[in-house]
Structures are given as structure tokens and as C-alpha cells.
Structure 1
Amino acid sequence: MSGNRLELRHLRKSFGGLDVLADISLTVQAGEFVSILGPSGAGKSTIFKVLTGSVQPDGGAIMFDGDPLTKEKRPFAFMPQRDALMPWRRIIDNATLGLEVQGVTRKVARTRVAPIFAEFGLEGFERHYPAQLSGGMRQRAALLRTVVQHRDMLLLDEPFGALDALTRAGMQRWLQSMWERHRWTVLLVTHDVREAVFLSDRIYVLTGRPARVQTEITVPLPHPRIDLATPEASAVEASLLQILLNPDQRS
């Protein structure tokens, strides 16, 4: 085994003759927080569609724990861009939905979910409906629904993109603290440079159409990251912006 949880090797995908992904290779190690950074339309979400099996790649390989990924085994818990909470279900029943899909009874699923509501800042809101919660609370509920499935890896597709700037910053800090506590293995898709720097151990930058991995950057900042107003953080941000704004200049 290579030591990588996830490894993409030369992944390719096109739709209707339009090339979207070209030769995408990346790795994620156990307990690591890795981001895929790129502009809108760069193919970031297509990578997640391939990983979750909603679309099939045209070429390349996907390895998980050293073995080829099969359609029967998808070890990912996926959180989409919007919370996707069902408005007619109370928050506790939204939180159990992933377990119920796996065949767990609602009663057993509630027993598993109830003890961690406090950790997600949702204690006392179990019987509320999504419309009664703030945007940040809805995202925490969606993440609770994701992690309670106890999958090997979390796929987060711009989970805070719909939030206002202040709520988004608070959610980023909250996610960092939760990752520090649990050491989930996470792959995040984002177009927000500062978000990627704040959360990630490593960042893959996608550019071009079809999308390619322009570069891989290790973020040389210790966790937890309280303040990004440091020369070291600013240097990483500047480097990423330089790559995104000048994609033809190979690093």
C-alpha cells in the first residue's frame, strides 16, 4: 500500500465531446485536509461526481487504501454546496437520513445521532424544521448528517459558499476545530483562496479547460490557524493568486 487513502491517477472526463478533466492526479493521506482550488467552471465538482459514482470517468484510475475503487464500494460521505435539508423533516430526522438510506432504522439512527447534537452546536434544536434555523446552523446540521455515516472520507463541495462572509468565517473556524478534534480525512472543493489556506494541509490548484492540476502547494502553517494576517499566510495566498491569475506560467 502506498500510504495514501485516496489516489487519483491521470483522471479524464468529457461531456458531449467537451473535455472537462484532463490528466488529474492527486493524493490524500489518512487524517489529512486537502483542498482542490480553482475558478468556477474549472471541473472541481466533476471530480466529486466521479468519486461518488454519479458519472463515470473516461480514463485513469481511482485507488482507495491501495485498491481500485469499485462502484459497489464508495467509502465517501458527501456534503454538497447547499445544505440540501428536507424542509418537511425535523432537524433530527434530516440528520439521520444518510443512516436510513444505508438501512438503519429511524429509531436506531436517532439513538446514534442524538448524543452529538451538542458537539455541533445544535442541542435544543432537534425538533426544529430547517426554515427555523440560521444559515450556519443549517450547514452544521448538514455536516452532522454527513459525518454520522462514519465513512472513511469526507467530500465537501464548497459547503459554505452560500453563506454571508461573517457566517462563512465562523463556519471555517468551527470546521477547523472539529477537524482538529476528530482528524477526519477531508477533500474540500473551493474557489476561495483564503478558505483553502485557512483549512488545508495541502492544496491542488486546477486551471485551464479542460482542467489540469497546475500545481500542488503544501501550506507551511501550524494548526490551529487563528490568524491569517501573518507574512507566512500572506505569502501562500499571494502564490496561489499568482498561479490562478497567470495559469500559463507553469510553476
Structure 2
Amino acid sequence: MTGAGLELRRVRKSFDDRPVLDDISLVVRPGEFVSIVGPSGAGKSTILNLLTGRLTPDGGEMLHDGVPLASGSYRFAFMPQRDALLPWLRIIDNTTLGLEVAGMKRKAARARVAPLFAEFGLDGFERHFPAQLSGGMRQRAALLRTVVQGKAVLLVDEPFGALDALTRTQMQQWLAAMWMRHRWTVLLITHDVREAALLSDRVYVLSARPARIARTIPVWLPHPRPAAGSPEVATVEAEILNTLFNPEF
């Protein structure tokens, strides 16, 4: 996956004349890991739906490498909240599904995916069905299916929210290590303040609806970051929480 820049400029979106997003501007530079946090219902997933083309903004601009996104030209890979693995397909077929839908022959798709199974901790599970995998392994399979498409930007929506606390922490550490290795360009939506602090180069905090950027918090801490016991990470968490509870902070 090659790095590419993503930018939103004063983006607005309403549903039935009720404003959801109001004047949203943000930047994800090539190779950055950027997170968006905000109150429940603030419109975080709406931003991803705009970027994937499922919704159209009412105003503002969305740019990729400085070029406005046109309808049908979206070049971003999207990982939803749930793994969305098809239960009747083996993991090898689930992970190649996006490539095959895009027109790649099955043999070529499998050849592209096969070398990545070991890196994603799935070596030996290619012919298992999703129900035979743990929650963390299913999420790794879903991420593999997403990144193997080679899109410029990775959009991730609450990927670990359904996992237990220990597995979620392990997956956050794993994702951080994978990002450091590949330097994907990532925009993450999350309710988990610690997750944002652990993974991000920058955090955008949304206000309640109609959502604006209440605060932009740069995270200058070096990677990798400890999962627990770091006062520096705790300080970033506190900044995010202060903004969430006091939007005018």
C-alpha cells in the first residue's frame, strides 16, 4: 500500500435538514496514522461513508493527493467495525474476495495473499472457516483482506470494539507494529481514547452534533508505545478526555 495524502476542507453533511457534520477540515499526510474520536452519534462513521463514496457531502471538498475526489474515483480501502467475513468461505477465499471482485483471477489473487498469512499471524489457517478462528484472528484476516488490495489510504472503523479487553490491547500492539513496518496511510475511527493515544500521530476530537473539530491533538511520542504504565500516553489520553468533556477546552 503506497502512501498518499488525504484532506477534508470544510465538509458539511445533513440528513433530512438536520446537520450532522459542520465545517469538518482535517489532513492525513502520507504514512501518518490519524484518529478521529468524538461523542456517540457525532458523525464519525459518516466521515468514512463520505470517503468511501456511500454518501455525498453537501458542501466542502475532499481531496486525495491534492486532487478533488470525484464520484466513482475513490481509491481507499475500508475495514468496517465487524470483520464481515463470509462464514461459508474459507479464510483464503475471504482474504482474496476484494481482489476477485475487482477482477483479479483467483489464482493470481491467492498468489498475492499467500505470502502475507505468516506476517498476519494466520499461517496454517488458510483453509479454516471464520467460525474456527478467535476474534483477534478474524480481525487480522479482515485487515489482510483490506490491505492486500493495495489502495492508497486505509480507512478503519472501530476495528477492535467487539473484542475483550486483553485481546483488544494485543491487537492494538499488533496493528502498531504492522503500521511501523508498512507505513500505511491510516484514518481510524474509534471510541477508545487509549487506542487513539497509543496508535496516532494526531487525533481529531469531534464535538457533539453538528460536529466540528473541537481540537486537534498532535501526539509526538515515539513508536512503539507501551500498552500500559506510560505517563506520556496517559497525558495524551487526558487531553482527549478533557476536550470530549469540555468541547471549548
TM-score range for the pair, normalised by the shorter chain length: over 0.9
1:66-106 CA-partner distances (Å, limit 9, x unpaired):
11111232110000000000001100000001101110011
Contact 1:193 1:237 in 2 (8 A): yes
Give the whole-Å Cα distance in 1 for the aligned partners of 2:232 and 2:133: 37
Corresponding position: 1:162 with 2:162? yes
Structure 2 residue aligned with 1:122: 122
Q: Identity, % of aligned pairs?
A: 68
Contact 1:12 1:58 in 2 (8 A): yes
Structure 2 residue aligned with 1:7: 7
Structure 2 CA distance for partners of 1:168 and 1:63, relative to 1, 3 Å: same
Q: CA deviation at 1:4?
A: 7.2
Q: Secondary structure at the match of 1:19?
A: strand
Give the whole-Å Cα distance in 2 for the aligned partners of 1:230 and 1:112: 39
Structure 2 residue aligned with 1:139: 139
The TM-score, its normalising length taken from structure 1, stands at 0.96
Structure 2 residue aligned with 1:85: 85
Give the whole-Å Cα distance in 2 for the aligned partners of 1:172 and 1:49: 23
Number of equivalences: 247
Q: Secondary structure at the match of 2:89?
A: coil
Q: CA deviation at 1:226?
A: 2.1
Give the whole-Å Cα distance in 1 for the aligned partners of 2:75 and 2:144: 17
Structure 2 residue aligned with 1:151: 151
Q: CA deviation at 1:228?
A: 4.2
Of stretches 82-91 and 14-23 in structure 1, the one that deviates more from structure 2 is: 14-23
Give the whole-Å Cα distance in 2 for the aligned partners of 1:144 and 1:62: 26
Give 1:68's aligned amino acid. Answer: P
Q: CA deviation at 1:36?
A: 0.5
Give 1:108's aligned amino acid. Answer: A
Q: Secondary structure at the match of 1:229?
A: coil
Structure 2 residue aligned with 1:103: 103
Q: CA deviation at 1:172?
A: 0.2
Of stretches 170-179 and 204-213 in structure 1, the one that deviates more from structure 2 is: 204-213
Matches for 1:166-181 after TM superposition, within 5 Å: 166-181=166-181
Q: CA deviation at 1:231?
A: 2.4
Corresponding position: 1:21 with 2:21? yes
Give the whole-Å Cα distance in 2 for the aligned partners of 1:128 and 1:107: 18
Q: Secondary structure at the match of 1:36?
A: strand
Give 1:198's aligned amino acid. Answer: L
Matches for 1:50-65 after TM superposition, within 5 Å: 50-65=50-65
Segments of 5+ residues of structure 2 without an aligned counterpart are none
1:102-156 CA-partner distances (Å, limit 9, x unpaired):
1001111011101110000001000000000000000000000000000001000
Give 2:52's aligned amino acid. Answer: T
Structure 2 residue aligned with 1:184: 184
Contact 2:176 2:199 in 1 (8 A): yes
Contact 1:4 1:66 in 2 (8 A): no
Structure 2 residue aligned with 1:225: 225
1:191-211 CA-partner distances (Å, limit 9, x unpaired):
110000000000000012111
Segments of 5+ residues of structure 1 without an aligned counterpart are none
1:168-191 CA-partner distances (Å, limit 9, x unpaired):
000000000000000000000001
